[in-house]
Structure 1
Amino acid sequence: MGKKAVLIGALDTKGQEYLFVKEQLEACGLETFVINTGVLGDPLFTPDVSADEVAAVGGSSLAELRERSDRGTAVAVMTRGAERTMAELERSGIIGGVFGMGGTAGTTVAASALQALPIGIPKLLVSTVASGNTKPYVGVKDIMMMYSVVDISGINKLSRRILSNAAYALAGMISHLSQEQAPTEDEDKVTLGITMFGVTTPCATRVREKLEERGYDLLVFHATGTGGMAMEELISAGYIKAVADITTTELADELVGGIFSAGPNRLEASGLAGIPQVISVGALDMVNFGPPETVPERFKERKFYQHNPTTTLMRTTVDENHQLGTILAEKLNKSSSPTVVIFPKGGVSLLDMEGKAFDGKEERAALYEGIKAHLRSDIPFIELEQDINDPLVADCITERLLKFLEQKEG
């Protein structure tokens, strides 16, 4: 069975718009497959998977949802059903790419289905909320969101252009992926993960370059919350085989309340997956906020650095650093993976150095003590006098990871 363009959405309230996109995709030479998630009425055209089937997979029935007439319940059921339906469809091997659209409810249902798909399958979502906070809809997947500009309500001069562009974009992605391509030289390479921030870039770049020279494929994750979450999801999926977790700054945002938290389970996936990990303390000197006016009032007396107009950095305190060291150690203590911790005593970022804005010997000492006092005795703890961006630190991280990899391969 050939790859198809899958459309998922409410064919009762958005049937005209879905039919238009379906016809555009078919005009591009693609076969289509349609999943209906509409609860309120009958679909404008016959789908391949009915709303009743989606509701059943979600734990209810279409008749029951209509009888209850509760929008929140209906959205929850269809969200579960859409996710499970899409996952099953992906296992069948027919998905070439997926299209969804809607307002808040339609976006929620379609996004759950798109998030059920592996990274790499084209995913496009036209939405009225695409110009706002898209994190709940994108998550850690490669979902492309297009702002609809106007509400998705009928085919008019503007919506015709926007929906056509969306259809052409998805058709282009599907068509390109369906073409037979010669294997690339990196397909057989072992994939490794690295975490990086602007203030740890010299270290991460040197580690990446040295590992690439040794024939490894490197994925570099920006430690902005979703970056750490994406890396750990790929670790759990078995895609990443070892990690140089240089920049663990997301722990600070989780502890203090910054905008770049990766959640309470950050730094745990490698241990659960049993893959080698070299851990450092990059950018634990800072908590991230947006523009200055977004910083909570309770922090007004703290030390700040304006990284750029939209990013305000706040220095972590002595007490917070001790807590961060303890948290990091206790997470690693649960791991059965080959693990080493590398601590650069000269500074944990470009700002935490002598004469720089966040230079803090007491803070670094507290971080050091938090780790040292709680880390399992069998986990190596390497102390270096240099700062994290010194080439010697990067070389130590590289050498330790290579040693783990050689032992694993051996």
Structure 2
Amino acid sequence: MQPRILIIGTGDTKADELDFMRAKVREAGGAPVMLDVSVLGDPPYTPEYDKHAVAAAADTTITAIIDSGDENSAMTLMAAGASRLAKELRERGEIDGIIALGGTMGTDLALDVALALPLGVPKFVVSTIAYSHLIPPERIATDLMMILWAGGLYGLNSTCKAVLSQACGAVVGAARVAEQPSRERPVVAISSLGKSCLSYMTTLKPELEKRGYEVVIFHTTGMGGRALEAIAAQRGFAAVMDFSLQELANHLADSVVTSGADRLENAGRAGLPQIVAPGAIDMVDFPTWQPVPKRFADRPYHAHNRLLASVTSDSEARRGIAREIGAKLAAAKGPAAFILPAGGIQEWDRQGEPLYEPEALAAFVDEMRRSVPEKVDLHEIPEHINSRAFIDKALSIFDAWVKEGVVPSGVSERQAAT
């Protein structure tokens, strides 16, 4: 296989770098396909897809893009065209992966292109702002790969060649061995926060697999929830068990450990069946290597490791989280159920553990009862979220939905019927 790699960049300003990348893709055994997103100038080489093709894909012209107002509006239009063009090329089977090069402008465009392509298509961005907080979670594609463009401000040098060559080899290799997601079995998504905090998935996963489903578990430490939301938006699941909403609580508390403002929205917007529970909404995360935020200085504290620490939110904040959950569930277009485990919502809020606050938990439970909309089935249980009772409740709701045809039957059940 000779993977066809779409190389994206502004050839009028970064011709040397892009030409070097084209050579490295060839050297790695790939077939380079150049897509030029220049606006004012032209590259010294002839790209397979020039700026006029990009503009046409955005239903406009380069002249109109130049006249659009400023560099921001111009690059936004080029991003729309490049995204549509890359998507069409992939759908026609003409590319196997992409690699894009840029500073803030090129990265801004590249993020849109990556989002336009489905999970399983290798996407590599070489950027001067890789891993920066300038990039919001919702702009990051589910399987995006990034590398810092060290020494890449102006022209080629040995430092940036080392980076560019790695990136080109990586995207060619990924395209050669990448497996596309299988849809042989219906897929059920489960959100969780690691086995030590939320452990229900250790039982739920094999139980659902016995029923013929593929189970995909998302670790809700920011980007895990982002991946869940992105795939849900593309209707990539048969059902969602969204049992760890801690990223939503983090977002409301302005924590950097967020998956964006649309957490708990995309499954509902897509009409997917979803069973929801408030796992770990009592915690607010922050980097362990930073001081505890002043507003949380007197709150119970738990260091999970040298990267991630948590404090608890107070009763009033938890009531606000409950109202936000209710509002998001109210907007869901598909069937939804909410399980309310009144006995606790994460492992460290048990009696004797560092985040145990029964009064604050009671306030949340009280507000949650008021906030769940009428169209959502509320299932309150007195037990903890990590109990067998919680698992049994989730499975009973799921099995009832399968019987009613709300959730498609698993492969094993379909085979048994035939």
Structure-1-length-normalised TM-score? 0.88
Shift of residue 158, structure 1, vs aligned partner: 3.3
Shift of residue 37, structure 1, vs aligned partner: 1.0
- Asked whether the 8 Å contact 2:330–2:375 carries over to 1, the reply is no
| Aligned-partner Cα distance in 1 for 2:175–2:290 | 43
- Asked whether the 8 Å contact 2:78–2:109 carries over to 1, the reply is yes
| Aligned-partner Cα distance in 1 for 2:134–2:118 | 19
Counterpart of 1:195, as a letter, is S
- Asked whether the 8 Å contact 1:224–1:261 carries over to 2, the reply is yes
Question: Would you say 1:361 and 2:362 are equivalent positions?
Answer: no
| Aligned-partner Cα distance in 1 for 2:324–2:133 | 29
Q: Secondary structure at the match of 1:201?
A: coil
Cα-to-partner distance string for 1:53-82 (whole Å, 9 max, x where unaligned): 324544764346667894334333322332
Corresponding residue to 1:399 among 377, 392, 396: 396
| Aligned-partner Cα distance in 2 for 1:322–1:103 | 42
| Aligned-partner Cα distance in 2 for 1:274–1:58 | 29
Q: Secondary structure at the match of 1:195?
A: strand
Listed as ranges, the matches of 1:3-402 within 5 Å are 4-58=4-58, 61-63=61-63, 70-133=70-133, 135-136=135-136, 139-151=140-152, 153-177=154-178, 187-198=183-194, 199-291=196-288, 293=290, 295-377=292-374, 379-402=376-399
Shift of residue 349, structure 1, vs aligned partner: 0.4
Number of aligned residues: 404
Shift of residue 405, structure 1, vs aligned partner: 2.5
Alpha carbons of structure 1 residues 105 and 295: separation in structure 2 relative to 1, 3 Å: farther
Cα-to-partner distance string for 1:373-406 (whole Å, 9 max, x where unaligned): 2323453322222211123322322332233223
- Asked whether the 8 Å contact 1:276–1:401 carries over to 2, the reply is no
| Aligned-partner Cα distance in 1 for 2:19–2:281 | 51
Alpha carbons of structure 1 residues 341 and 111: separation in structure 2 relative to 1, 3 Å: closer
Q: Secondary structure at the match of 1:259?
A: coil
My pick for the range that moved more, 312-321 or 262-271, is: 262-271
- Asked whether the 8 Å contact 2:197–2:348 carries over to 1, the reply is no
| Aligned-partner Cα distance in 1 for 2:151–2:18 | 16
- Asked whether the 8 Å contact 2:151–2:160 carries over to 1, the reply is yes
- Asked whether the 8 Å contact 1:3–1:93 carries over to 2, the reply is no
Q: Secondary structure at the match of 2:25?
A: helix
My pick for the range that moved more, 231-240 or 22-31, is: 22-31
Counterpart of 1:341, as a letter, is F
- Asked whether the 8 Å contact 2:142–2:227 carries over to 1, the reply is yes
| Aligned-partner Cα distance in 2 for 1:204–1:135 | 31
- Asked whether the 8 Å contact 1:124–1:143 carries over to 2, the reply is yes
Aligned-residue RMSD, C-alpha: 2.8
Cα-to-partner distance string for 1:166-196 (whole Å, 9 max, x where unaligned): 222222222234xxx9x99x64111000001
Structure-2-length-normalised TM-score? 0.87
Q: Secondary structure at the match of 1:158?
A: helix
- Asked whether the 8 Å contact 2:3–2:172 carries over to 1, the reply is no
Shift of residue 219, structure 1, vs aligned partner: 1.0
Alpha carbons of structure 1 residues 360 and 144: separation in structure 2 relative to 1, 3 Å: same
My pick for the range that moved more, 367-376 or 294-303, is: 294-303
Alpha carbons of structure 1 residues 129 and 331: separation in structure 2 relative to 1, 3 Å: closer
- Asked whether the 8 Å contact 2:136–2:260 carries over to 1, the reply is no
- Of all paired residues, the percent bearing the same amino acid is 29
**Contiguous gaps of at least 5 residues in structure 1:** none
| Aligned-partner Cα distance in 2 for 1:266–1:336 | 15
Please name the residue that 2:414 is paired with.
Answer: none
My pick for the range that moved more, 203-212 or 343-352, is: 203-212
Shift of residue 36, structure 1, vs aligned partner: 0.5
Q: Secondary structure at the match of 1:118?
A: coil
Counterpart of 2:115, as a letter, is Q
| Aligned-partner Cα distance in 1 for 2:217–2:163 | 33
- Asked whether the 8 Å contact 2:34–2:47 carries over to 1, the reply is yes
Counterpart of 1:83, as a letter, is S
Alpha carbons of structure 1 residues 225 and 28: separation in structure 2 relative to 1, 3 Å: closer
| Aligned-partner Cα distance in 1 for 2:333–2:72 | 42
| Aligned-partner Cα distance in 2 for 1:216–1:134 | 38
**Contiguous gaps of at least 5 residues in structure 2:** 410-418
| Aligned-partner Cα distance in 1 for 2:156–2:376 | 62
Alpha carbons of structure 1 residues 64 and 132: separation in structure 2 relative to 1, 3 Å: same
Counterpart of 1:157, as a letter, is S
Shift of residue 10, structure 1, vs aligned partner: 0.9
| Aligned-partner Cα distance in 2 for 1:307–1:58 | 47
My pick for the range that moved more, 78-87 or 351-360, is: 78-87
Q: Secondary structure at the match of 2:259?
A: coil
